[in-house]
Structure 1
Amino acid sequence: MWTNDSMSGRGDLMKKQLLSLAAAVSVGLAANLAGAAELTAVSFGGAYGEAQQKHMIDPYMEKTGNKILFENYSGGVAELKAQVESGNVLWDVIDMEVIDLERACSEGLLEVFPQDQLPPGDDGTPAADDFSKEALANECGVGNIVWTVLYAYNHDTIQGGEPKSMNDFFDTKTFPGKRALRKRPQVNMEWALLADGVSKDEVYDLLATEEGQARAFAKLDTIKDEIVWFDSWSQAPQLLNDGGAVMVQSANGRFFAAIQQENKPFEMVWDGHVFDLDVWAIVKGTKNKDLAIDFVNFATGSKPLSGMPEVAYGPTRQSSYAYIDESVIPKLPSAHLDEGLKASSLFWADYGESLGEKFNEWLLK
């Protein structure tokens, strides 16, 4: 039988043990929290960054207790390269355009991402089958969103019916009126060859030749007198709204916002759209590689990706569509990949400067 004295002694001992345990737990928690605050992710800011914060960053922190410092950068690889080559790596995870990803990966500025560790979709589909093939095309990253350049028309101003193809964009007899294009060779050269009957698989191979370039310029000649040139995507919706052109080229987000938020009578045409992706990647030399992988696995999950349509970008996973309003899906570029052409950043890296010079010369003719 326990006496009062023995019980009192045991009580004092237990108190000391509990206090020691509490102190140890506190130290452990503090260490964990301190470690969790080290992950830094960078992206492009704006409405896109806000959507990522809402659907990727905040939910990840809430679920795991890990802290992410989410910062903006201006794109490109210069700052990334400076960090890696100096050994002073400040970033862990980076959102990149494909053209920059391919360069950074080839220069050893990024970690090879373990794509075989990506979780299945929420419907159980293996990641390799759930993601679009373009999303996993580069070993250094995982596709995050799909965006595109396409043209749209205004139901209130179009004549001759409803355009449905790239051929219609170049058909000024059936669809009279001005066409508005951004003043640069990118996309315009591809569109010209597509409208001239070149298959999507052959566009860039042909455009790499003098013959193909001449053919593209010749096709652009057929509508040159009807082209309104502009310099910024922000000008596109206004041109279409004010009747400055009956068909206008733009990044899909501009038209999406006008349709969804302003109820403009615009219709996007998906045939021949030229699409690309943004990709999550991990900076070479990060001290938080495992945590970075864990975050990318989460951020590219079915549910987080389903939030990107808020800013007109399509998810790279098929399983994400289960969470998206059915009325929105037809307005997303990821729902029309079969109708589009994947932009070739490698082509434009090799030929952009020379074609830019030829394009400017053509404008002056």
Structure 2
Amino acid sequence: MRRSDLVLLMVAMIAAPARADDLTIVSWGGAYETAQNQAVIAPFAAETGLDVEVVVYDGSWTALAERGVPEGWDVIDMLADQARVACAQGLLLKTDPGALFAPEALADFTPFAPDGCAVPQNAYARVMAFDDRAFSGVKPTRIEDFFDTDRFPGPRAVQRSPDGILEWALLAEGVPPEQVYGLLSTDRGLRLAFRKLDTIRDDIVWWQDPATPAEMLADGRAVMAAGFNGRFFDMAQRERAPIDIVWDGRVIGIEVWAIAADTDAPDAARAFVQHAADPATMARLATQIPYGPTRRSAFDRIGINRDLGVPMRAHLPNAPQHVGRALVRDSGWYANTEDLRQRRFRDWLGDDD
């Protein structure tokens, strides 16, 4: 569907009477969904005249698979690796990217273009952050500092999961970013990563809720934390907590839009995905919340968050001005190693943890 076709479809939608079940969008809830509604969903509903309902799920492909995709779901916000698995399971509608976007638009996507089941929509990152009050002199500046308890003593808040921390362990061992996932695909790489984790085992405080690491830094339960850039941003900017983000070693994840295989509104779903992937729409979202656009042409459109008075480009994980090492989360590796990495992580934790 080209842009001209989208315009015609929107005209038809505006002319047609809206139904209560016109389009159901599945997202993650919280501040992210609020920003998404303001920047993406509400403008689409206003432009098309469609009734758009938003429902919340846990983000996993298994939520789609347990009883088939729940009836009425149309467009789903997913992590790229989860969409990859769901696509292979036949849970998502396959669409030719060339039918949705012109060649110049496809070339504008970064770090990768749409595929048959998913359209990249924003970038988030797993980052290291620290309590500025904990270090009066030298501050942490690189991912190696997360594992250096001599120079930077104190508890480290880490998700009770192998995700992200294994990449950091290899980076801290000097593995170049471009070799990390290849090495983690071997037994030697996994043993090296868990050996590095052994060096901070006694300093780890675990978290499960993504809101927790920022709270731990704010209330002094941890001096460093692994977590998501948006959560640290909110705690620092909205709550004025003395939290600093270290961009070195960031693991950039990509969220995508996918369409349920059994959607009752495929044309409206495709129109929404095109709207959401427009550079102006991506820029509006990034101005609301610090998740970066996945199209290069969107960056120059990102301005100041009016509620906070903060220029947002500096807080985006994929902003071109950030220095330090970065990895793009390898969706293929994550999709293919889920059972293996979870099993090895449980073995490392041991029965007493």
Q: Offset of 1:256 from its aligned partner?
A: 0.7
Q: Which amino acid aligns with 1:94?
A: I
Query: What's the counterpart of residue 298 of structure 1?
Result: 275
Distance 1:151 1:79, change over 3 A: closer
Partner of 1:133: 111
How far residue 152 of structure 1 moved from its aligned partner, in angstroms, is 0.7
**Identical counterparts, % of pairs:** 36
Q: Which amino acid counterpart does residue 278 of structure 1 have in structure 2?
A: E
| 1:266 shift after superposition | 1.3
- Residue equivalent to 2:28: 44
Q: Does 1:320 align with 2:298?
A: yes
Preserved contact between residue 177 and residue 325 of structure 2 (Cα < 8 Å): no
The structure 1 residue matched to 2:140, chosen from 163, 182, 190, is 163
Encode CA deviations 1:164-188: one digit per residue, 9 max, x unaligned: 2112222233333332222222211
Give the alignment partner of residue 226 of structure 1, picking from 185, 203, 228. Answer: 203
Matches of 1:352 and 1:82 in 2, distance apart? 17
Aligned partner of residue 40 in structure 2, secondary structure: helix
Q: For the structure 1 residues 91 and 246, does the alpha-carbon distance in structure 2 shift closer, same or farther, using more than 3 Å as the test?
A: closer
Offset of 1:108 from its aligned partner?
Answer: 2.4
Compared with structure 1, are the counterparts of its residues 293 and 29 closer, same or farther at alpha carbon in structure 2 (3 Å cutoff)? closer
Q: Deviations over 1:168-212 (max 9, x none)?
A: 222233333332222222211111011101122221221122211
Partner amino acid, structure 2, of 1:283: A
Cα deviation, 1:123-162, whole Å, max 9, x if unaligned, reads: xx9322332123x253211112211211111222225512
Q: Does the Cα contact within 8 Å between 1:83 and 1:90 map onto a contact in 2?
A: no
**Aligned-partner SS, 1:334:** coil
Counterpart of 1:23?
A: none
Does the CA-based 8 Å contact 1:177-1:245 persist in structure 2?
yes
1:339 is aligned to 325
1:84/1:284 contact within 8 Å kept: no
Say which of 208, 213, 224 aligns to 2:190: 213
RMSD of the TM alignment (CA)? 3.0
After superposition, the C-alpha distances for 1:194-248 in whole angstroms (9 at most, x for unaligned) are 1101122221221122211111122122233333333333221232123333211
Aligned to 1:174, what secondary structure does the other structure show? coil
The letter of the residue matching 2:174 is G
The aligned amino acid for 2:343 is E
> Hey, what's the Cα distance between the residues in 2 that align with 1:312 and 1:113?
29
- Structure 2 equivalent of residue 353 of structure 1: 339
Structure 2 runs not aligned, ≥5 long: 1-11, 305-309
Q: Is the 8 A contact 1:179 1:227 kept in 2?
A: yes
Report whether the alignment pairs 1:245 with 2:227. no
Which residue is 1:311 aligned to? Answer: 289
Whole-angstrom CA distance in 2 between matches of 1:78 and 1:243: 36
Following the alignment from structure 2 to structure 1, what is the Cα–Cα distance between the partners of residues 63 and 241? 40
Q: CA deviation at 1:272?
A: 1.1
The alpha carbon displacement at 1:117 in A equals 4.7
Shift of 1:339: 3.5
Task: Give the structure 2 partner of residue 22 of structure 1.
Answer: none
The answer for unaligned runs of 5 or more in structure 1 is 1-27
Give the drift of 1:91.
2.4
Q: Give the Å deviation of 1:47.
A: 2.1
Tell whether the 8 Å contact from 1:160 to 1:174 is kept in structure 2 after alignment. no
- Superimposed CA distance per residue, residues 65-100 of structure 1 (whole angstroms, 9 cap, x where no aligned partner): 333333333333345447768xx9522222222222
- Scaled by the length of structure 1, the TM-score of the pair is 0.80
Checking the alignment, whether the CA contact within 8 Å between 1:181 and 1:230 is kept in structure 2 is: yes
Which structure has the larger Rg over C-alpha atoms?
Answer: 1
Match status 1:147 vs 2:124: yes
Q: 1:262 to 1:288 in 2, by over 3 A?
A: same
Matches of residues 1-365 of structure 1 in structure 2 within 5 Å?
A: 32-34=16-18, 38-78=22-62, 80-81=64-65, 90-118=72-100, 126-134=104-112, 136=113, 138-309=115-286, 310-321=288-299, 322-325=301-304, 327-335=311-319, 339-364=325-350
Displacement of 1:50 in angstroms is 2.0
C-alpha deviation, 1:277, in angstroms: 1.8
| CA deviation string 1:34-63 (max 9, x = no partner) | 579633322222222222221222211222
Give CA-to-partner distance per residue, 1:247-296, whole Å, 9 cap, x none: 11111122110111012221101111112122111222434322221111
TM-score by length of 2: 0.82
Matched positions, count = 331
